[in-house]
Amino acid sequence: MPEMRRNPITGEWTIIATERAQRPHKPSLDATPFFGGKNHDPECFFCYENEHTTPPEVLVYREKPGAANTPGWSLRVVTNKFSALNLNEEFCMQDDNHLQVCCYARGLAEVVIESPHHTLNTALFPIQQIELLLKAYKERYIELSKEPSIKYIAMFKNNGSQAGASLEHPHSQIIATPIVPPVIQAEIEGAKQYYKENKSCIYCDMIDNELKDRSRIIYENEEFLSFAPYASRSPFETWLIPKFHSDSYHKLTAKQLKGLSEAWKTVLYKIYMGLDNPPYNYFIHTSPTRQDTEEFFHWHMELIPKMTIMAGFELGTGMFINIAIPEQSAEYLRGIR
């Protein structure tokens, strides 16, 4: 029987309607090689020997010392050559009339080239490579937040062409903006209101509830919990959140990064194996750079496989229809080894 579930943070509603899964449809999965693939593509901008085709690296990890922008790296971060934002002009709001408000698109965009291997899926990375990736997000967050005009730093990955990836080589992105995105601000306001009323962090309370209920847990280790949200917006939506209270991703210690790497590697592998390498998007929701959210906000990672298509109802109402029961999705992913 269909039911409606409310997101306790933002107040958004999701309709859980498994009957719609019976509608005729054609599966929509990327034709990316399941295992293997090409180690190197001489035409790829992100591969070895083509470092000169990208902007200069702003961060690089190497096993051995070497010259900048040359082969021998394990991970590189470069400025996005096709960025929609830059720092050429000052951020200044213009409102000639209250219906037309604009500003210069001030900000920064970077590409994280996750591995030298041309086609290796992130889910199949050695755990040490996952740790480098997560460490790179932290280091670039810290560096980009030094720019006074930057108020939010989005760290995200599009996996597969149907999820928005334009290049095959494994990569993710970091975009720093002069405004706090509405989705983040809605989470902050919801968490702030909950804290005002209950004197506790809503995310911490959610964690306690998931640990007691356990039906939606996908994976956990000592410091991190992965679960299917109660009001999941789409099939197999997966969150990963620290069990300890922390409002910002950049506060992770070296020890915590190792625990996060182990948990994130497990989540990615379960999604890859259990759903036949679906297109997906993941992103980190963290505190804005210039807001004090320490008491009530809680950073987390969200992964959303592209199993369904957002259509007229979702676009017209802001509500979601999920054709999979979150508890059953979690049970299935728990069983993937």
**Rounded CA Rg of the chain:** 20
Q: Tokens 């790829």 sit at which residue?
A: 44
**H-only helix segments in the chain:** 127-144, 182-198, 202-213, 254-274, 312-317, 326-334
What's the sign of the alpha-carbon dihedral 313, 314, 319, 324? Answer: positive
Planar angle of CA 174, 123, 138, nearest 5 degrees: 30
Which residues face 220 on adjacent strands? Answer: 225
**Distance, CA of 172 to CA of 113 (rounded, Å):** 7
What's the sign of the alpha-carbon dihedral 114, 274, 309, 203? Answer: negative
Q: Does residue 245 have an active-site annotation?
A: no
- Alpha carbon 7 to chain centroid distance? 19
Please count the other Cβ atoms lying within 10 Å of the Cβ belonging to residue 2: 10
Whether residue 75 contacts residue 52, with contact meaning beta carbons closer than 8 Å, is answered with no
Q: Is residue 257 classed exposed, middle or buried when 0-12, 13-18 and 19+ CB atoms within 10 A define those classes?
A: middle
For residue 11, which amino acid is it?
G
Q: Tokens 């755990």 sit at which residue?
A: 127
Catalytic residue among 171, 285, 298, 300: 171
**H-only helix segments in 33-154:** 127-144
Q: What are phi and psi for residue 54, nearest 5 degrees?
A: -105, 160
- Alpha carbon 238 to chain centroid distance? 10
Q: Which residues are catalytic?
A: 171
